[in-house]
Amino acid sequence: MQQDEQFFTDLVKQNKSTIYSVCYMFSNDKDEVEDLFQESLINLWRGLPAFEGRSQVATWVWRVTLNTCISADRKKKRNATVPLTMDIDLFDESNAQSQQAQLLRDRIQRLQPFDRAIVLLWLESMSYDEIAAIVGISPKNVGVRLYRIKEQLKKMN
């Protein structure tokens, strides 16, 4: 048990930014991102005994985190609520670079969850083979889907 705890601690330290990045792409709300992050950690901990090492640890972390976020996104759409808004701008829009990043993020969030996951992995400079291993499709299918996603992003207003 002690070894599992140490392995998990190291796993979280090494993959914290990856887990957070995935969660961030699935929500506009800071509290919801934190909830997704926590839920991902719970799912990683629960899944640790079943991890057989057939893939790289980072690939497994991506897959668990993406599945957690996609599941939460589906639940959220089924149980749609009216969000409470505050008059606080959480993002600095004072420079062109942050405006471009916000525009890209807004467009990516309008994609279907599976397509959003593929784009996120591609933006992390992962190879088609790595993306395919994480999302469970062939590398060729990754290329086709990315082409279609890019076209879809270009057409968005």
The whole-model pTM stands at 0.61
More confidently predicted of 42 and 124:
42
Q: What are the tens digits of pLDDT across the range 87-137? A: 434 455 566 667 777 888 888 888 998 999 899 899 888 899 999 998 899
What b-and-e string marks burial along 3-40, b requiring 16 or more CB atoms within 10 Å of the CB?
Answer: eeeeeeeebeeebeebbbbbbbbbbeeeebbeebbebb
Higher pLDDT, 76 or 92: 76
Question: Cα dihedral angle (60, 26, 67, 57), rounded to 10 degrees?
Answer: 10
For residue 118, what pLDDT is reported? Answer: 92
Ranges for all domains in the chain classified under CATH 1.10.10.10: 94-157
What's the fold here for domain 1-81? Rna Polymerase Sigma Factor; Chain: A (1.10.1740)
Q: Compare 148 and 156 and report the one with higher pLDDT.
A: 148
* Topology of the domain covering 94-157: Arc Repressor Mutant, subunit A (1.10.10)
